Structure 1
Amino acid sequence: MLIRTKLILRFTLLVAGLLVGFSAFVYYFQAAARRQRFVHRMEASALLAARVLIRSGHPAGPVHPRDLLMMTGERIRILSPAGQVLFAEAAAVPAGLAGQLESTRVPYTAQGTRYQVEIAAIDRLGRSQLDTLRLILVVGNVGALLLIIGAGWFFADEFLRPIARVVEQVEQITASNLSQRVDEGNRRDEIARLAITFNQMLAGVEQAFEAQKSFLSHASHELRTPLATLLGTLETSLAYDDNLGDSKESIESGLEDVRHLIALTNGLLTLARADAPSPRLLPVRLDECLTQALGYAQAKYPGRDVQLHVGPVPAAAEPFSLPGNAELLTTALFNLLDNACKYSQAAVSVDLSYADAHTLRVRVADTGPGIAPADQARLFEPLFRARSAAGRPGFGLGLPLTQKVVRLHGGQLEIESAAGAGTTATVRLPV
């Protein structure tokens, strides 16, 4: 069901309920007032009849009873204190109105004697007015409901028109024109806030698309180069290698290209894994992950001096413990150590400590060439490599992967660097 239809239906039902309730309230109290007025009229008529008939000396006195009958179907009985009927007179009741007779009893005292006067009659005028009121209320409510439905349709259409405009604009946005934005209107009401939120989402999607396009472009280039080199090596070997020595040399060159492809593929797969749905986070020891990463780094760079410093440990049942994925954390820390050892010939400093009672901090500092300010804004783009990385092995996947892993754990990764002054990477993770 459309929102417009829901709004009209609920608005109509609400107002209809209020109208019916108000009409019932008016009709009920009008009926009660009519009954009260008619009872007073019957009491007055009964007292008049009793006063005239009893004061005349006898209920069958010189006053003709019919001279006192004034209401439709009026019936009067006068009873003695003993309950004996002293006077009874009844007018003819019009056909079909017998069920409308209303009655009451009035006490009357004359010369110390207490009489009971019973009177019944039909309130023809009052009931006619009540019927007219009922008809007015029914017709008025039906007319009001028709007006309400029309007004509801008009206002629903008026208020939903901006949403329809937003939907129309959104339907025109495709993958080929993600730069297009939705009209934000007055930027104050709820629909404007919806448009603003949608534009923010579009900006994020556009940025993700651009990053994906850049990633695919760089990945295809990085994969194409070793594949082309490998193909050229094999074709050259097939055409010109006439002895075993030349063939071995070609095979070694091809193997180097294959290793390069395997390393690049593994990096891309690890990056894709970090983009997958969040893995289950279990209690892990960050110091153990860092120790394992240090072991990998020392195995890859056996001559590099890596100095580990451990800060004060607060009183805790399990120091350096946090919810996380040990394999991903180890990979992220190794990437930072790999970059530091790759670009620094001097000692690499690693610091593990608590930034505060609720935050673990790992800081990796090197004395390498640093990163130019123009390149720092793109450090976390997959396959991007700074100019200072020229001639160094790598694919530009380490920092993007590390940032994804840190964010997956609710932490932050900060890179501080200056050209010629080294680089410091700081990871903060909540415990």
Structure 2
Amino acid sequence: MLIRNKLILRFTLLVLLIQLCLSGFIYYFYATSRQQRFDDRLRGKALMTTRLLLRQSPHPADAERNFRRRDLMTIVDERVSIYGPGGHLLYTSADSLSQKHNSAQLERIRPGAPVRFRDGNLEAVGVYYLFDGQPYHVFAAGRDAFGYQQLAKLRLILLVGNVGGLVLIVLAGWYFADQALRPMARVVRQVEKITASRLNTRVHEGNGTDEIAQLAITFNGMLSRVEQAFEMQKSFLSHASHELRTPLATLRGTLETSLAYDQNLAEAKQSQATAVEELKKVIELTNGLLALAKADDASFRREPVRLDECLARALQISAATYPAQTLHLEYGDLPAEVEDVFVVPGNEHLLTTSLLNLLDNACKYSSGAVWVVLGYDSPRQLRVTVRDAGIGIAAPDLSRVFEPLYRAANGKSRPGYGIGLALTKKIVELHGGRIELTSAEGAGTTATLVLPTAA
């Protein structure tokens, strides 16, 4: 079901329920008031008749006839019965009246507590009356024709009003739902125009404050990330094809030249050696791309890992790879509340790889010493800082160095493929950490890696 229809249906049901409750309250209040008014009339009729008969004449029948002629407020189907002391019937307005219901109610009547009951299709009340110290029980019954006519009219008015109100509620619900969802429909139309070739298109954000505007803002943010991902993918494919094409072209040219011109074993071996070096580059690049792809897998098993041991292995490998490079390791202050020092949850091989990539970049692009500091940002965060005094990174390149296969302009003369930092960033983020890079061209680079501890 469309949201528009859901809103109309829910709005209609809610308002209709409120309307029905209000109508029911009005009807109940009027019906109760009618009953109370008619009961008061019946009690008044009963008491007036009793006073007239008992106080004004020794001939009750004559007095009653005179009283009835003067009574302008006659009740439809009026019936009055008076019971004297001992429950004896003293008077009835008609000899043919049945006293079955009246007799059954005699025991219930108490001083100050009238009894209300039904006598066939008539409403009746019984009241207690004290005269000359003697108790009398008086019953009056009748039919409230006017009251029921008004009640029927009220029912008709409420029925017509509710039906008409239902129509108005549906129309109002449709109007307000249309007004509320119109910005959403506009967003839908704009989104339908966005294609892979038009990812730079953005959705109108409206007033920027309501929920639909927040949705548009969120969607625009997602479009920006998707556009950035597409650009990164295009850049990655461009760089990958370029990096693979160069050694493959060199390999092909070497083999073709060897096949056409090598005349002896020495020349063939020299060509083969060149081909092997190019194959190594292809294999190295392929392995790097595979490692980058595998780094997206977050399903690896996490275990407590000593980060200082990972760092020690990375330093050992870097020292063997760059024997002329000087590496300095320092430790920061240790929080007193930390029990398992330098322990983080994660994968030991991946963490070692990320540290090794940082050290490899520092050693590759710096002829001076490399400083490494391992310490705590807080009891729940470990920090590794790798600082060099090498060629640095220019500001335009600094924002893109984490893109796969992207290399800064001043670093293309050194061996590499631009995979290390991208791989390191993915590994660190998979471990719930972050990596920050600060650099200035000609002034060196500082890489800071922060990881959550096992605590």
Match of 1:214 among 213, 231, 235: 235
Identity of aligned residues (%): 57
Q: Is the 8 A contact 1:382 1:397 kept in 2?
A: yes
Deviation of 1:91 after TM superposition, in Å, equals 9.6
Q: What residue number does 2:244 align with?
A: 223
Q: What residue number does 1:77 align with?
A: 81
Q: Describe the SS at the equivalent of 1:410.
A: coil
Structure 2 residue 139 is the aligned partner of structure 1 residue 118: yes
Q: What residue number does 1:184 align with?
A: 205
Q: What residue number does 1:164 align with?
A: 185
Q: CA RMSD in A?
A: 2.3
Whole-angstrom CA distance in 2 between matches of 1:418 and 1:119 = 107
Q: Deviations over 1:96-137 (max 9, x none)?
A: x98430111133344444322211111111111111111111
Whole-angstrom CA distance in 2 between matches of 1:310 and 1:199 = 44
Q: How does 1:316-331 map to 2 (within 5 A)?
A: 316-331=338-353
Structure 2 residue 72 is the aligned partner of structure 1 residue 51: no
Q: TM-score, normalised on structure 1?
A: 0.92
Q: How does 1:24-63 map to 2 (within 5 A)?
A: 24-54=24-54, 55-61=56-62, 63=64
Q: Is the 8 A contact 1:335 1:399 kept in 2?
A: yes
Q: How does 1:84-103 map to 2 (within 5 A)?
A: 84-90=88-94, 99-103=120-124
Q: Deviations over 1:24-53 (max 9, x none)?
A: 111112111111111111112222322333
Whole-angstrom CA distance in 2 between matches of 1:52 and 1:348 = 123
Whole-angstrom CA distance in 2 between matches of 1:311 and 1:60 = 119
Q: What residue number does 1:284 align with?
A: 305
Q: Is the 8 A contact 1:383 1:396 kept in 2?
A: yes
Summarize the Cα distance change of 1:85–1:340 in structure 2 as closer, same or farther, 3 Å threshold. same
Structure 2 residue 402 is the aligned partner of structure 1 residue 380: yes
Deviation of 1:256 after TM superposition, in Å, equals 1.0
Whole-angstrom CA distance in 2 between matches of 1:385 and 1:92 = 117
5+ residue gaps, structure 1, are none
Q: Describe the SS at the equivalent of 1:173.
A: coil
Q: Is the 8 A contact 1:77 1:118 kept in 2?
A: yes
Deviation of 1:330 after TM superposition, in Å, equals 0.8
Q: Is the 8 A contact 1:74 1:91 kept in 2?
A: no
Q: Greater CA deviation, 208-217 or 47-56?
A: 47-56
Deviation of 1:319 after TM superposition, in Å, equals 0.6
Q: Which runs of 4+ in 1 moved over 6 A?
A: none
Summarize the Cα distance change of 1:92–1:377 in structure 2 as closer, same or farther, 3 Å threshold. farther
Q: What residue number does 2:9 align with?
A: 9
Q: Is the 8 A contact 1:348 1:366 kept in 2?
A: yes
Whole-angstrom CA distance in 1 between matches of 2:94 and 2:245 = 117
Q: What residue number does 2:100 align with?
A: none
Q: Greater CA deviation, 120-129 or 71-80?
A: 71-80
Whole-angstrom CA distance in 1 between matches of 2:182 and 2:94 = 70
Whole-angstrom CA distance in 2 between matches of 1:310 and 1:220 = 42
Summarize the Cα distance change of 1:113–1:368 in structure 2 as closer, same or farther, 3 Å threshold. closer
Q: How many residues align?
A: 428
Q: Is the 8 A contact 1:72 1:91 kept in 2?
A: no
Q: Greater CA deviation, 58-67 or 20-29?
A: 58-67
Amino acid at match of 1:114: P
Q: How does 1:305-344 map to 2 (within 5 A)?
A: 305-315=326-336, 316-344=338-366
Q: What residue number does 1:242 align with?
A: 263
Q: Deviations over 1:184-242 (max 9, x none)?
A: 11212221121112111111111111111111111111111111221222222222233
Match of 1:403 among 425, 430, 441: 425
Q: What residue number does 1:147 align with?
A: 168
Q: Describe the SS at the equivalent of 1:86.
A: strand
Q: Deviations over 1:316-374 (max 9, x none)?
A: 22111122222221111101111122223333222222234333222222332233334
Q: Greater CA deviation, 340-349 or 227-236?
A: 340-349
Amino acid at match of 1:59: P
Q: Describe the SS at the equivalent of 2:393.
A: coil
Q: Describe the SS at the equivalent of 1:355.
A: strand
Whole-angstrom CA distance in 1 between matches of 2:222 and 2:373 = 38
Amino acid at match of 2:23: S
Whole-angstrom CA distance in 2 between matches of 1:92 and 1:217 = 113
Q: What residue number does 1:347 align with?
A: 369
Deviation of 1:163 after TM superposition, in Å, equals 0.5
Q: Deviations over 1:250-306 (max 9, x none)?
A: 221111111101110111111122233364433211101111212222232234332
Whole-angstrom CA distance in 1 between matches of 2:267 and 2:344 = 55
Summarize the Cα distance change of 1:90–1:267 in structure 2 as closer, same or farther, 3 Å threshold. farther
Q: Greater CA deviation, 217-226 or 106-115?
A: 106-115
5+ residue gaps, structure 2, are 98-117
Q: Is the 8 A contact 1:73 1:90 kept in 2?
A: no
Whole-angstrom CA distance in 1 between matches of 2:424 and 2:340 = 25
Q: TM-score, normalised on structure 2?
A: 0.88
Structure 2 residue 393 is the aligned partner of structure 1 residue 371: yes
Deviation of 1:407 after TM superposition, in Å, equals 2.6
Q: Is the 8 A contact 2:298 2:430 kept in 1?
A: no
Q: Is the 8 A contact 1:284 1:325 kept in 2?
A: yes
Summarize the Cα distance change of 1:259–1:109 in structure 2 as closer, same or farther, 3 Å threshold. same
